[in-house]
Structure formats: C-alpha cells, structure tokens
Amino acid sequence: MRQERTVQASIFDLFAGHEIGRELKAMSQWLDHRPALLKLVATDLLRRGVKETGREGLPAESVLRCGLLKQHRQLSYEELAFHLEDSASFRAFARLPLSWTPKKSVLHKTISAIRAETWQAINQTVLQSAREEKVETGRVIRVDSTVTAALMHQPSDSSLLWDAVRVMARLLEEADTLAGGFCKIAWHDHRRAAKKRARAIKFTRGRPKRVPHYRELIKLTRATLAYLDQAATELWQVPDPIAVALWQGEHCHYRPLIERVISQSVRRVLCGEAVPASEKIVSLFEPHADIIVKGSRDVEYGHKLNLTTGRSGLILDMVIESGNPADSERFLPMLERHIDFYGEAPRQAAADGGYASRANLSQAKARGVRDMAFHKKAGLRIEDMVKSGWVYRKLRNFRAGIEAGISCLKRAYGLARCTWRGLDHFRAYVWSSVVAHNLALFARLKPT
C-alpha cells in the first residue's frame, strides 16, 4: 500500500553547505510542517491503474518533493533519477526511503499524476505562509500577461497534412498487426508521396505554384483517411476486444482532428478564405494550443497566462486563458480573484498598458483600489488614476519589476515552453513551475 509520508526516513538529512543546499533545506522544513498537502497528492496518485494494495509505491511525500526538485532545477526525468542516486542533498530533500533509487519511468508516472488543482492548492498554502510571516501582504500588486508555448513545431497546412498521413499510416500498420489472419486490411502507404509533396510546397515560391502540390497532398490525405475508416469497420471481427478498443480510441481521437486539418487546408489554400483563428487547428498532437499574437510580435502557439505579483516577487495568482482574450477584458477578473483570496482590495495596483481603459479604472476604484496606475495612460489623466505624479512614477516603475519575474519563470523554471503533452498536463506543468518558484523565493525571503 502506498504511504503518504516516508516511513523510517533518515534522521540525518545531509544538505550541502552550498547556497542551493541551504535553499533546499529551508524548503524541506516548510514542507515538513504542512502534512495536509500530502493527502492531496495521495488522492491524485489513487487514479486508475494505481492500486492501494499490493507492492509499496513511492510515498506521496517523495513524489511531491521529487516534482518540486524537477521544476526547481529544471531536470529531465532521466537527470532527476541520476541526481537522486548521486546527490546527498537531493536524496535528503526527496525523503527517499533507505536504499530506494526510483527509475525515470516511476518518476514520470507519479509526478505527472499530480493535478493542476493540487499544485494550485499548494501555491495558496505558500502564499498563506508568506502572509503570516509578513513576507507578502497583497496590498500592492502588479498585473501582466505572457505566453507559454506548447510542445509542437511551427505549423503550416502542408506540415499538418503530412503529420496526418504519417499518423494514419501508423494506425493502419497497427491495424494490420491486430488483424492477423482474422480479416484483411487493404491499404496503400502514401507516406513517401505525401512527404515529397510537403517538401515541394516548402521549397516552392508563389501561391499559384504551390496550389497543385496542395491538391495532390490533400488527395493523398483523403485517400489514407478512407483506408483508415475501412480498417475501423473490419477490425470488429478481431477476437481481442481490449486491443481493438484501444485502437478504436486512437482512431476516434485523431479522425475529427484530421478532418479539420483537411477542411482548413481546402478553405485557406484552394478557396483563398481567411479562416478565423478560433476555427484553426495548429497541431494534431497538441490540439488545445491557441494562436497568440501580442501586438506586432511573432505569433506564438500555446496558452496565454495572466499573472499577479506583489512586492516580494511571489506569484500571487495565475490564470491559464482559453483563446487570446484582450488584456483589457481580463483585468477585472484578475482583481476579483485577488480580492476573493485576500479578503480585501489592494491599496495600490499597477498594470501593463494593454489593461488600460476608463471602465477598468472606474471599476478598480469602486472596489477599493486607491491608486491604479496603467503603464500607458490610454487617454486617462494621472489625477484620475493616482493622487500625484510621484505616486504614478513609483507605481509605473514598480510594474516594470514583473517583467523580471516573468523572465525568471521562463529562464529558470521552464515557463517558456511546456514539455508535457495534453491540456491537463500543460496546466499541471505551469502550476508546478509557479509553486517551485514561489517556494524557493519564500525560502530566501522568510525571516530566520
């Protein structure tokens, strides 16, 4: 049976005297006094496929600590497994049972089971501790947005069609193996021809010259999709219902996505139609990814994040947005979330120029914000926002500090690009990075 806490942990925690070792020790001591968090992690581990009985698994306490180590030091699962075996400080922080050295597959299976909601609850506990220690009161805040990219390549209609053909060919090969001698799966492998057309499109200049190649590539994709549909009807004769059900699950997952790829390619390339961003699909493997355009900068593919930070630099709140909403639409919801958590409005607030509007200013004042400074005035008078020009300059300079926090999250905590697949794992990855950042920063700022 999986334990919540590590049984018979060593009483001699060997943390190095190095700065990193002292930081890990302070984080470990904070976790020791919050055993309630382990119940949340233990509940997540009791998912389908993980039983309460049988062989002992990695304790929930060690899973949580290993997850924090991974994000704090930005390690791959293989690197994490090596450091847990090699480093005394890492083993002491992870609270591994004596002589245990988990493999990367175990670390991957357990750490990825922790939900985003659990990470968010842990972050709120960190913020509550920061409030009790008077490290962060939430009385002065700043708001800004950024983008975390999904794990995908730069999309194009030709690359999406080529992805579709090779995914379907893989499924057809698996169907052939399942069929054995029970039924006949008739299909032709169009991968070579599809790749040839996709490369020709990439190196052909001018839309009129690319259109014939696109017609051929779309034709090959539709033909392969017809083979796949036929295989789906034939496989019901196979006397292995579990294997067939798994195959059919993949077929049902990819088929509507491939149809969308074909449809948008026809509309965009053959018909010359401007397809709205909300109707586009940019990846077969990360279909949840949004198309994000911030100002005149490059297009990014992932999800937009709205963040709130305080004087301490701690991330007080974070929202993973759906689509690409305007910043001005998201200011009041972020302010409301802050008020719900802290029980009162901040005394002063600062935000990027994209959040500026007269409606947002008046609503912030109505909720009790005394000084509300936007980085760009957007037609608003300084006298309407704050009580003096000096206060406006101080808040505007204070707002600039959130850029350093976002840069730190992206450089040191992996928020530039999510390396986990799927929307649920995307959300868990982002929140785990925020928790690792906040806990490490709180450990540095906490009074001794």
CA distance 435 to 299: 28
Range of the domain at 104: 19-114
C-beta neighbour count of 78 within 10 angstroms: 13
Q: Are residues 410 and 300 in the same domain?
A: yes
Q: Domain for residue 83, yes or no?
A: yes
Domain-ending residue, one of 252, 279, 306: 279
Residue with tokens 């926002």: 385
* Residue 389, Cβ density class (10 Å: 0-12 exposed, 13-18 middle, ≥19 buried): exposed
Res 182: pLDDT: 72
Q: Are residues 361 and 252 in the same domain?
A: no
Q: Domain for residue 439, yes or no?
A: no
Each residue of 155-184: pLDDT tens digit?
A: 999 999 999 999 999 999 999 988 887 778
Q: Domain for residue 4, yes or no?
A: no
C-beta neighbour count of 345 within 10 angstroms: 20
Q: Domain for residue 354, yes or no?
A: yes
Q: Domain for residue 72, yes or no?
A: yes
Q: Are residues 305 and 400 in the same domain?
A: yes
Q: Are residues 209 and 326 in the same domain?
A: no
Q: Are residues 101 and 138 in the same domain?
A: no
Phi, then psi, of 205 in degrees rounded to 5: -95, 140
Res 16: pLDDT: 80
Each residue of 399-440: pLDDT tens digit?
A: 999 999 999 999 999 999 999 999 999 999 999 999 999 999
Q: Are residues 145 and 165 in the same domain?
A: no
CA distance 204 to 206: 7
Q: Domain for residue 125, yes or no?
A: no
Q: Are residues 273 and 165 in the same domain?
A: yes
User: What does 196-265 look like in DSSP terms, one character per residue?
Assistant: HHHHHHHT--SHHHHHHHHHHHHHHHHHHHHHHHHHHHHGGGSS-HHHHHHHHHHHHHHHHHHHHHHHHH
CA distance 207 to 357: 41
Q: Are residues 247 and 348 in the same domain?
A: no
Q: Are residues 422 and 374 in the same domain?
A: yes
Res 2: pLDDT: 65
Q: Are residues 144 and 161 in the same domain?
A: no
Question: Among candidates 119, 132, 117, 12, which has minimal Cα distance to 446?
Answer: 132
Question: Among candidates 67, 114, 115, which has minimal Cα distance to 95?
Answer: 67
- How many structural domains does the chain have? 3
- Mean pLDDT, contiguous 10-residue spans, the chain (448 residues): 60 75 91 92 77 67 95 95 92 85 92 96 96 94 96 94 97 90 85 96 92 96 96 86 92 96 95 90 95 81 96 96 92 96 95 93 95 91 93 95 95 95 96 97 87
Q: Are residues 327 and 221 in the same domain?
A: no
Q: Are residues 167 and 269 in the same domain?
A: yes
Give me the long-range contacts of 198-205 (CB less than 8 A, separation at least 24): 198/158, 198/159, 198/161, 198/162, 201/158, 202/156, 202/158
Tell if the pTM clears 0.75, that is, is over it: yes
Q: Domain for residue 443, yes or no?
A: no
Res 54: pLDDT: 46
